[in-house]
Chains A and B, each alone.
Chain A
Amino acid sequence: MADVARWSTRVNLPGLATMGAFVAAWEGLVGTGAVDFEFLPAPSGIADALWSLVWSGEIFPELFHTLRSAVVGWMIASVLGIALGAWLGLSDTAWRYSMASIEVLRAIPPISLVPVALLVFGFSLKMELTLIVYVGAWTVLVNTVDGVRSVRPELLDVTRMLRMSRLTTIQKVSLPAAMPSIVVGLRLALSLALVLAVVAEMIGNPSGLGNALVRAQQALQPEQMFAYVVTIGMLGVALNAALRLASARAFPGLGAGTDPS
């Protein structure tokens, strides 16, 4: 009984009802011809297309390809970003002699690097991964540096008073104190990774959901195209939720630090 009560507050019925009403209104408007865009399919058509894509198994290789590149690229970017970021955050000299360069490089809009990646690597998985790693690593790095550098000075005084070694200080104070900021960076990087995977597939790498999306568009199959769009959206929600869950598990005290903004 208690479980049921908890679920009903967690499931957010009014929210689902609004979503349902939205879809129903869409269906009604398109179905009755009240709204007539040439290429706007009704939700039922999209659901049909999605169902047949799933049933024929056509969607899974594309889905796995996008998921794998996004996650693998994000992991490499995280490791690089945290390691470099911790170094720059801890060493004042390193920070002083490189941070301005990093700010400048980071200002270059990541999307504009897609053509360069295409130029250098051609149409390949390597190009997709390089792009994801490059862009994601900046995000994680900058957030790690911010986090490590904004550790409260009193905490560092305590480590000095306790005569902690440098390694212990990093391990027990600097990194845990920087964790909220790092987690924010990781979340941003993960959503960026998905965006870049899709973009790279749309214009470069001939596989994955992004490519399937463009193919459906060019074949003038709006139902299929919307089905892929919905899949990408759900993938985004799922990745975000998974990371939120994992960070809540790993760092129970974090709470506010994972607030999106």
Chain B
Amino acid sequence: MTVTIPASVPADSSGVGDVRPPPVRRAGRRAGARRSAFPPLRGLLPLVALLGVWELRASADSPYFPPPSTWIEGLGDLWGNGTLLPAALQTLSTFAIALAVATVLGTLLGLVVGASRTADRALGPTLEFARAMPPAAVVPVATLLLGYDVTMKVAVVTFAAVWSILLNTRSGVRAIDPVLLDTARCLRLKPFDRSRKCVFPALLPSIFLGVRVAAPVALVITLLVEIVTRVDGIGALIASAQRNYLAGQVYGLILLAGLFSFVVNGVVSALQVFAFRNRPSY
């Protein structure tokens, strides 16, 4: 069946076939607004001015506030002695593995808690308590139980990142359109097909929203674990530079960490755009 477009519709409205009102779910709207409204670039002026003044006024061997040029030198030193690249790779791989595990785990738990009120009430307090636990407090426990290695790092980061995915999946499951499930029942879809064709696509936006929130958290916690335990990675480099009073290196590494967080946000946004390329409303 074709949709006939009334002639009165202005030519510039591209979504004419789409007569549904825009999605009003708080979650989706917030993510969309954040993306489109990146502030104008002239807003960088104060930061640039600050860095300029800093560069000109600070002495090169200041132990507390070394000028920006020494930050780059510090990074260059670390690159030169071959510690920077392995550390960066270790941080990024820990982050990526943990985020992947957290996504799978959070989605599964969110499905259970979202689908059944009983399960929600039964698991609620336990999950609430675990969520309120500052990840930092989990680090010593994890080191005692798992030792100082990558498994421990991944475990702590997963623990910190899983909550937003879990909560968003839960509210996504609650908000699934019952008509969708009825349709699946009418078509006599098998359980596997039903989850693949109806439930999963309907949940994907919520899961993605959870991942968007979880990704920066996972990065922060990766650095936290590395700083606290000094198990290899960028965080460990920052901690050892601070111990040796190499202020330039500390600032340079922080710059790098900020860059990572920009890249991570960019990658998650790009993935989201890719996953929803056929859905104009997200």
- Chain A residues at the B interface, C-beta cutoff of 8 Å: 12, 14-19, 22, 37, 39-40, 95-105, 107-116, 118-120, 150, 191, 194-195, 198-199, 202-203, 210, 213-214, 216-217, 222, 225-226, 228-229, 232-233, 236-237, 240, 256, 260-261
> Given contacts A12-B124, A96-B39, A237-B129, are A108 and B144 in contact (CB under 8 A)?
no
Q: A18-B122, A240-B132 are in contact. Are A217 and B254 (CB under 8 A)?
A: no
Highest count of chain A CB atoms <10 Å: which of B137, B139, B144 = B137
| CA distance in complex: A213, B220 (Å) | 21
Instruction: Report the number of A-B residue pairs with Cβ-Cβ less than 8 Å.
Output: 181
Neighbour of B227 across the interface among A12, A104, A114, A240, CB < 8 A:
A114
Cβ of B80 under 8 Å from chain A: no
Would B43 and A116 count as touching, CB distance under 8 A? no
Q: List 17 A-B contacts (CB under 8 A).
A: A12-B125, A18-B125, A97-B42, A100-B44, A101-B46, A104-B44, A109-B219, A110-B220, A111-B223, A112-B238, A120-B64, A120-B65, A191-B132, A199-B136, A202-B136, A217-B143, A261-B213
User: Which residue of the partner chain, among A97, A118, A199, A261, contacts B43 with CB atoms under 8 Å?
Assistant: A97
Q: How far is the CB of B231 from chain A (nearest CB, A)?
A: 14
Q: Is B242 an interface residue (CB 8 A)?
A: yes
Q: Which of A37, A108, A256 sits near B26, CB closer than 8 Å?
A: A256
Q: Which residues of B contact A (CB under 8 A)?
A: 26-27, 33, 38-47, 63-65, 118, 121-126, 128-130, 132-141, 143-145, 164, 167-168, 171, 209, 213, 216, 219-221, 223-224, 227-228, 235, 238-239, 241-242, 245, 247, 250-251, 253-255, 257-258, 260-262, 265
**B221 partner residues in chain A, CB cutoff 8 A:** 111
Query: CA–CA, A7 to B157, complex, Å?
Result: 37
Which residue of the partner chain A has the closest CB to B124?
A15
Are B258's CB and A260's CB within 8 A? no
Q: How far is the CB of B121 from chain A (nearest CB, A)?
A: 5
Chain B nearest Cβ from A210, distance in angstroms: 7
Secondary structure at chain B's binding surface: helix, strand, loop or mixed? helix
Q: A191-B132, A198-B134, A232-B134 are in contact. Are A101 and B47 (CB under 8 A)?
A: yes
Among candidates B39, B126, B167, B257, residue contacting A261 with C-beta atoms closer than 8 Å: B167
- Check B134–A40 contact: CB distance below 8 A: no
Contacts A12-B125, A14-B121; A108 near B145 (Cβ below 8 A): no
| Bound form: Cα–Cα A34–B219 in Å | 35
| CB–CB A18/B126 < 8 A | yes
Whole-angstrom distance between the Cβ of A179 and the nearest chain B Cβ: 15
Question: Inside 8 A of B235's CB, which chain A residues have their CB?
Answer: 111-112
Complex: A18 Cα to B81 Cα, angstroms: 53
Q: A111-B224, A229-B133, A261-B168 are in contact. Are A101 and B43 (CB under 8 A)?
A: yes
Q: How far is the CB of B217 from chain A (nearest CB, A)?
A: 10
Residues of B within 8 A of A237 (CB): 128-129, 132
B76 to A: closest C-beta gap in Å: 19
Q: Which B residues lie within 8 Å of A114 (CB)?
A: 227
CB distance from A252 to the nearest CB of B (A): 19
**Choice from A14, A113, A195, A233 contacting B118 with Cβ under 8 Å:** A14
Contact B262 A107 (CB under 8 A): yes
Residue of A nearest to B26 (CB): A256
Q: Would A194 and B121 be within 8 Å (CB), given that A108-B254, A213-B140 are in contact? A: no
* Minimum distance in angstroms from B34 CB to a CB of chain A: 8
A15 to B126, CA, bound (A): 7
Q: Which residues of B contact A109 (CB under 8 A)?
A: 216, 219-220, 223, 257-258, 260-261
Query: Are B39 and A95 in contact, with the CB atoms below 8 A?
Result: yes
Beyond A104-B258, A109-B220: 18 further Cβ-contacts under 8 Å?
A15-B122, A16-B125, A97-B43, A98-B46, A105-B47, A110-B220, A111-B223, A111-B224, A112-B223, A115-B227, A191-B132, A191-B134, A229-B141, A232-B133, A237-B129, A240-B132, A260-B167, A261-B171
- The answer to whether B121 and A15 have CB atoms under 8 Å apart is yes
With known contacts A15-B125, A100-B43, A109-B219, A261–B134 Cβ distance under 8 A: no
